[in-house]
């Protein structure tokens, strides 16, 4: 796999999550302490792909993802700092679809496109794999549509840092 495109309308993508965020997401499931620890460690190990410059990683997340209070304000601020930091890597493109932009599509569910050959879709109870080229193309087109209305680069970082600053102010006054 050389290019991975991830669309996430509900949570920070797993590859970008801080350990605290991962724990908060996983604690919603009925995992034993050992299973929780193993799963967190496994997710953190997978994040090594972020530093493999031979791979191109493109993320699109929606602004509500940044505002969804999965962890306390200070930890959300740290999570947003991580997104900004990783966005500076040359082989990684992180974009945010802002709430204020006119939407032409619906962010139904998360999906991952691998090299334009396979799409995985996570549902509540299962993961679906799509390989028919016509179906893959539907997801590529959906990704491209959101990519066009999403903020990137310094505009994206400015939005994320503004939301982070809101969390920090909340922490100070809370």
What CATH number should be reported for the domain holding residue 70?
Answer: 3.30.870
User: What is residue 174's predicted lDDT score, i.e. its pLDDT?
Assistant: 63
User: What is residue 157's predicted lDDT score, i.e. its pLDDT?
Assistant: 98
- Determine the structural domain holding residue 153 and report its residue range: 3-173
pLDDT at 59 over 80: yes
**How many distinct structural domains can be found in the chain?**
1
pLDDT at 1 over 80: no
Q: Which residues lie closer than 8 Å to 6 by C-beta, 6 or more apart?
A: 13, 15, 57, 58, 59, 60, 110, 111, 112, 113
User: What is residue 127's predicted lDDT score, i.e. its pLDDT?
Assistant: 86
Q: What is the pLDDT of residues 72-126, one digit of tens each?
A: 999 999 999 999 999 999 999 999 999 998 888 888 899 999 999 999 998 777 7
Q: What is the pLDDT of residues 14-48, one digit of tens each?
A: 999 999 999 999 988 888 889 889 999 999 999 99
For every residue of 72-107, DSSP letters joined together read: -HHHHHHHHHHHHHHTTSTTEEEEEE-TTSPPSS--
User: What is residue 77's predicted lDDT score, i.e. its pLDDT?
Assistant: 98
Q: What is the pLDDT of residues 115-159, one digit of tens each?
A: 999 999 987 777 899 999 999 999 999 999 999 999 999 999 999
């Amino acid at each position: 796999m050389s290019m991975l495109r991830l669309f996430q309308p509900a949570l920070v993508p797993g590859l970008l999550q801080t350990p605290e965020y991962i724990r908060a997401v996983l604690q919603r499931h009925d995992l034993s302490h050992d299973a929780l620890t193993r799963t967190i460690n496994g997710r953190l190990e997978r994040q090594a792909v972020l530093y493999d410059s031979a791979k191109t990683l493109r993320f699109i997340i929606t602004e509500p993802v940044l505002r969804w209070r999965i962890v306390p304000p200070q930890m959300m601020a740290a999570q947003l700092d991580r997104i900004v930091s990783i966005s500076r890597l040359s082989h990684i493109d992180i974009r945010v679809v802002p709430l204020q932009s006119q939407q032409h599509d619906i962010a139904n569910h998360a999906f991952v496109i691998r090299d334009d050959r396979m799409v995985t879709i996570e549902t509540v109870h299962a993961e679906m794999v799509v390989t028919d080229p016509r179906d893959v193309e539907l997801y590529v087109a959906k990704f491209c549509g959101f990519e066009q209305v999403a903020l990137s680069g310094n505009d994206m970082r400015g939005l994320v840092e503004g939301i982070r600053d809101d969390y920090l102010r909340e922490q100070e006054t809370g």
